[in-house]
Structure 1
């Protein structure tokens, strides 16, 4: 790395989960083998990770409010989750699409909240510095939505949790690996790949985990990472437009598929208004046992547990 580059750009560093890489570190480690190339350095957002902290705060506040609401109105956990916006396929199919968004801020018990909060605390600041605040927010929210969408499409169980969005952060880091492979392996080695593989395997062998939410979040994070690029990284307009169109197409097809799957799944189909269907489901929720779900009336879901996302 030339002295002129150092004078023009100053000292840049990237703070990761495991170590700090500085410009001189890049020079010392790579200078003997490589001439300077842009892929051997990265610009980061050096401001504190306020967006990560805000999301952590929102998750904790929502959890406390949900439990306080349950205590005041004598509601069990399933009822609390239903009212606060957990993913429930039939309600979504009948128009409550906002549940795809709200489900990512709900948690099923204190341990679920703790582990997701810890994962967000570990990976959130890294991704926020690599992508910047606005791009980080886009990665997190859209990954949470794609996680909820795949869960809606392929998992019959109600679900809640932030893991889809957190897997989206890992998906964004895979984009970082694609763009800055040398720096990626200096920060993470192979550990991040192993963590992703282990968690996906663990999700497949445990029935109470919504692995479709994880897979959807991972895909969403990688796609959004490609669409927005790293912090101060220019993204080709053509590529950006194509990726955003792909994301929109995925959501359109997913919502159509879910509507076809859940609205017309009972034969013979009896046409009923959306308000009547929603009232049946909401009313039946108050007769549920903790952690169980049964929908009565013309539409019926088997008794099942909430899935952790």
Structure 2
């Protein structure tokens, strides 16, 4: 579920919603920051930030779109890359299992609910942005699967999600500048709505992967027999340590 072995082109074909979200993340980030760096030479970039950032006071005054727009905006390079990388790793399985419409509905719903919780539980002057609430919403769906829908996730992948989720929650409280409310309520929202959206879901391995061009080689589940055997426990450790290293790098980068 979480081992990515696609090419760029096959990833784009198989997971169009994830691809679209990442493109939006990167384009808006570059547009905003290039506008700031060039003192407004690139038009509307600063306005995108000013009108799109989550602002509790403005939301309370009726600017309801700020419950949605922060999901697509990011403050620095580490922020946008970390969230986009998380989507690449953990989004594709759910996009296949839920389908495109249900996936984007879950993503936006959990992100909006996380921002609503931020509105009611933080200061009226609190500003926030980032896709973390929605991404934790996806983790909430996985958490529900681990606990109540073991038919949809095997033990090894359940262990991966459990390790990553524990690390993510711990880092939420350690890393300065994190919207703790959005992370926690995104997670809760994902777990709460999961039963509805997973009702007719099938395990990830039952979904076919569409090739980009005629003649493209699709995934062969027996190809590992031709290579040295790598246990699932090793994969869990590698992914867990890799994610932890990425988190540490992100924390250190914010200290300087």
TM-score for the superposition, normalised by structure 2: 0.67
Shift of residue 187 of structure 1?
4.2
Matching residue of 1:55: 21
Matching residue of 2:139: 170
Shift of residue 99 of structure 1?
0.5
Shift of residue 162 of structure 1?
0.5
Unaligned ranges ≥5, structure 2 = 6-12, 203-256
* Partner of residue 155 from structure 2, selected from 183, 186, 196: 186
Shift of residue 179 of structure 1?
4.4
Give the Cα–Cα distance (whole angstroms) in 2 for the partners of residues 228 and 183 of structure 1.
Answer: 13
Shift of residue 102 of structure 1?
0.1
Calculate the aligned-residue CA RMSD, in Å.
2.6
Give the Cα–Cα distance (whole angstroms) in 2 for the partners of residues 111 and 202 of structure 1.
Answer: 15
Matching residue of 1:69: 35
* 2:109 is the alignment partner of 1:142: yes
* Rg larger for: 1
Q: In the alignment, is the contact (CA less than 8 A) between 1:69 and 1:80 conserved in 2?
A: no
> What are the residue-to-residue correspondences of 1:152-301 with 2, within 5 Å?
152-156=119-123, 157-181=126-150, 183-232=152-201
Cα gap change, 1:231 to 1:52, in 2 (>3 Å): farther
Residues 185-226 of structure 1: CA deviation (Å, up to 9, x unaligned): 434142312222222222223331111111121122222322
Cα gap change, 1:122 to 1:214, in 2 (>3 Å): same
The structure in which a higher percent of residues are helix is: 2
> What are the residue-to-residue correspondences of 1:70-89 with 2, within 5 Å?
70=36, 71-73=38-40, 82-89=49-56
* 2:2 is the alignment partner of 1:17: yes
Unaligned ranges ≥5, structure 1 = 1-15, 21-46, 234-309
